[in-house]
């Protein structure tokens, strides 16, 4: 693409040094991925400042650099006259707008659904993708479990665990549109909103699930965390809102566009209410109350909180023009995401359940639902996540204490931390961490194997927390890991 830099309409550009026209073939924010005719965006990360790697990017052939430091821009222009230097107010914001321009605004060719909330984003994204596809709108999803088109998982090296950096995001939009998909449901994290990864996007629907303290290692205060999440709705044409939640009630008062509200409480005035929930072996039946009418609904999901997630997907489909009878009929074939109440049968009638629950609220809700299933013993593995808020770790212990026959404490994604310190932090939440039914392990692998070892006939083995995308993050490296592979290996060896 030929770029005439002085004709770009990005309000963040302050000055342009060097050539006004360049042939641009690639975009990157990693200097090692800079190639001839590329643009390097010198964004600031958690551990490094991209400005420190500009020289490396230029040596690798970058034709243009986007930077915030005026002193650096001037000196770079003098030493590299053939390179265009863009001095901007905000590299991340510029990267978002430039990426949209470079990939021909592919987001505007899709129905975009943004999902925010502490818990449920991944599940809702999968439900929306599945429901819209069943209704005849081939849809994709972007989030914690990867990139999925309407027909398959698409391999991507993701830049972040949940919401990709804007540069990657717009390329994904273009690929999904070329695949033939007509909509995309994506998780939008509070950090992504703060870091302007979705800057310049106008979402057709924004969904709010719930809110409880999370990511305080980044936001520091709950107020900042909530304010970041609320920003999504400033970029939305319509909204689906949970009125059983404090953030949802705030949105009802402050969001001025089209809105569908949902609830599990019969006394609310929500547009979509699910009551009389009945669990069976293959899903949940409930009565839907809407516009003074009642409908019988069956959906192949488990857990009251997942029924709430289903309601948010229903609201999305209604906002996109589908009729309620068609939506209810399609729900009978709804597909759930991997790693969310994923049930695996053991050889001696053990029930192994994998679920991503990694907050105290999510863990509490999950255990409430699991305990409804007939069982002998309940064995639960919880984890401290090394790349998350340390202050949350003891709360995970408090959430499970007294609620399981055996408790295994382990580590997810230790990052640069000593795993034993993470386990100690979790253990500090128990009133007595030395009781014999609480076990500690220093890797997720050890935790899974210990959990399986403690299980036997008719037991439920619940493996929770944040092992995602087939890897554990250890000192900046992704170490391959799969709970499912471990389970298969264990029972094969033990049989």
Residues of the chain with CATH 3.40.1190.10: 104-331
What are the pLDDT tens digits along the chain (495 aa)?
A: 999 999 988 778 999 999 999 999 999 999 999 999 999 999 987 678 899 999 999 999 999 999 999 888 889 999 999 999 999 999 999 999 999 999 999 999 999 999 999 888 999 999 999 999 999 999 999 998 889 999 998 888 766 668 999 999 999 999 999 999 999 999 999 999 999 999 999 999 999 999 886 766 777 798 888 899 999 999 999 999 999 999 999 999 999 999 999 999 999 999 999 999 998 878 999 999 999 999 999 999 988 999 999 999 999 999 999 999 999 999 999 998 877 888 898 999 999 999 988 889 889 989 998 998 889 999 999 999 887 778 889 999 999 999 999 999 999 989 899 999 999 999 999 999 999 999 999 999 999 999 999 999 999 999 998 756 678 888 878 888 999 999 999 998 664
Query: Residue 296 is encoded by which pair of tokens?
Result: 């019988």
Which residue reads 């036997």 in tokens? Answer: 456
Pairwise CA distance, residues 291 & 284, whole Å:
22
Residue 161 is predicted with a pLDDT of 66
In which region does residue 200 sit, left (phi positive, over 0), alpha (psi from -120 to 50) or beta (all else)?
left
CATH topology of domain 104-331: 3.40.1190
Is domain 2-101 in CATH 3.40.1390.10, yes or no?
yes
Residues of the chain with CATH 3.40.1390.10: 2-101
**Residues comprising the chain, all counted:** 495
Helix/strand/coil (H/E/C) assignment for every residue in 379-431: EEEEEEECCCCHHHHHHHHHHHCCCCCEEEEEEECCECCCHHHHHHHHHCCCC
Residue 392 is predicted with a pLDDT of 86
Residue 412 is predicted with a pLDDT of 92
Residues of the chain with CATH 3.90.190.20: 342-494
CATH of domain 342-494: 3.90.190.20
């Amino acid at each position: 693409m030929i770029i005439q830099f002085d004709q770009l309409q990005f309000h963040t550009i302050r000055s342009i040094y060097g050539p006004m026209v360049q042939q641009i073939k690639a975009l990157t924010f990693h200097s090692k991925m800079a190639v001839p005719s590329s643009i390097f965006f010198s964004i600031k990360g958690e551990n490094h400042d991209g400005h420190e790697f500009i020289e490396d990017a230029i040596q690798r052939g970058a034709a243009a650099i986007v930077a915030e430091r005026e002193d650096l821009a001037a000196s770079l222009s003098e030493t590299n006259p053939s390179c265009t230097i863009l001095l901007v107010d905000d590299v991340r914001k510029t990267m978002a707008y430039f990426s949209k321009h470079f990939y021909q605004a592919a987001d505007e060719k899709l129905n975009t659904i943004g999902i925010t909330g502490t818990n449920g984003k991944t599940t809702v994204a999968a439900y929306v993708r599945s429901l819209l596809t069943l209704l005849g709108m081939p849809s994709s999803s972007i989030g914690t479990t990867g990139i999925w088109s309407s027909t398959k998982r698409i391999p991507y090296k993701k830049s972040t665990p949940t919401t990709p950096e804007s540069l990657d995001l717009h390329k994904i939009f273009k690929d999904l549109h070329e695949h033939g998909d007509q909509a995309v449901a994506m998780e939008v994290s509070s950090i992504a909103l703060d870091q302007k990864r979705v800057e310049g996007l106008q979402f057709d629907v924004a969904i709010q699930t719930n809110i409880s303290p999370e990511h305080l290692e980044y936001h520091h205060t709950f107020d900042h965390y909530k304010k970041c999440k609320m920003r999504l709705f400033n970029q939305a044409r319509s909204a689906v809102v949970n009125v059983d939640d404090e953030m949802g009630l705030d949105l009802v008062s402050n969001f001025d566009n089209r809105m569908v509200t949902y609830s599990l409480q019969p006394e609310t005035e929500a547009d979509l209410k699910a009551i009389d929930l009945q669990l069976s072996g293959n899903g949940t039946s409930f009565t839907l109350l809407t516009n003074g009418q009642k409908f019988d609904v069956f959906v192949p999901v488990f857990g009251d909180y997942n029924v709430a997630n289903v309601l948010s997907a229903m609201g999305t489909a209604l906002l996109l023009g589908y009729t309620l009878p068609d939506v209810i009929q399609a729900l009978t074939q709804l597909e759930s995401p991997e790693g969310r109440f994923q049930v695996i049968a053991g050889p001696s009638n053990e029930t192994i359940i994998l679920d991503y629950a990694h907050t105290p609220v999510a863990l509490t809700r999950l255990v409430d639902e699991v305990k409804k299933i007939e069982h002998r013993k309940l064995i639960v593995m919880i984890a401290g996540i090394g790349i998350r808020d340390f202050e949350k770790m003891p709360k995970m212990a408090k959430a499970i204490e007294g609620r399981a026959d055996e408790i295994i404490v382990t580590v997810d994604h230790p990052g640069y931390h000593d795993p034993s310190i993470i386990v100690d932090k979790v253990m500090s939440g128990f009133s007595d961490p030395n009781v014999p039914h609480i076990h500690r392990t220093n890797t997720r692998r050890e935790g899974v194997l210990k959990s399986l070892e403690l299980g036997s006939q008719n037991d439920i083995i619940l493996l929770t927390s944040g092992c995602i995308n087939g890897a554990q993050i250890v000192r900046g490296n992704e170490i391959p890991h799969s709970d499912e592979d471990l389970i298969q290996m264990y029972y094969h060896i033990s049989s």
